[in-house]
Structure 1
Amino acid sequence: FVVSRSRSGDNQDKILIVGVGKLMTSLSRCCKPAPPDAIEGFVTRGRGISIHRVDCHDFQQLAAKHPERVIAADWGERANDSRTALYQVDIVVQAIDRQGLLRDISEVLSREKLNVIAVNTLTKKGTAYMRFTMEVGGVKQMQRATTLIREVSGVIDAQRK
């Protein structure tokens, strides 16, 4: 069965819940899954099924405590179409701090037409630590963004959280 989750407008993404239909699902905020991540569901109390990446630390702890509440899930066909839904992902960046660093990274994201929802920055002993929360159509778009961010002068590493 395929479970639909409405987004803004007419867009819908679909998550396949094995053996079950018409359940409320939500993408977890701890790991922010996006197609084509490997995912599983966790049956919550009163909030339907929370969808997690299988490598999510929080999910692994929940699954160990309550294995009976884990349910198989997969992305439906339309979830892999970047025009149908946007997914929030976090990218963390470590860089040598310098004037204009945030601007240069923001320009990369702007050129890639990514909507940045939140930015958190912290500098310790000349090293900048940044977290960007952005909307992407899928993992490929996010991977391209991290590759381009790594090319910015002074960036030591950029990766999905």
Structure 2
Amino acid sequence: MRKQVYSLLVDNNPGVLSRIAGLFSRRGYSIDSITAGMTADPRFTRITVVASGDERILSQIEKQVRKLEDVIEIKLLKDGESVYRELIMVKLRANAAQRGEIISVADIFRAKIVDVEEESLMIELTGNQSKLEAFLNLLKDYEILELARTGITGLSRGSKDVTYID
């Protein structure tokens, strides 16, 4: 079983994300993560889907997604040829004594403190999955009150595979 990252360029139409997610559920495929956002051109949305399976399942996913009406392009993002990022926000219980220690850990990872309250601290961190896991591992001695992750988003490196649409 391996993971595959698919980068989809789709028409920015109502329900497009639902149709893509529905394809996965109808076929019994699992989505590890899915992110979506409008591109620089508001007519299009970039959707990044991470799925797991054997070679046959992953190939089938690509073929089925490619058939969808709103899908303009599908790229298989590969390690070394692509850049992946994920965002996490973590809220920790932090009294005055713990705050300095937590901020030191955040500084090492170039994380941002985005909210401070009397008894809590909220941190934002962007990076690849191994960086985020290492960060969370260092916070295991503190009480995590809430954690939110965006899932992976990514693009292929360079400009040779860029799709230009008029």
Q: Same fold (TM over 0.5)?
A: no
The structure whose residues are more often helix, as a share, is 2
TM-score by length of 1: 0.45
Which of the two has higher C-alpha Rg?
2
TM-score by length of 2: 0.44
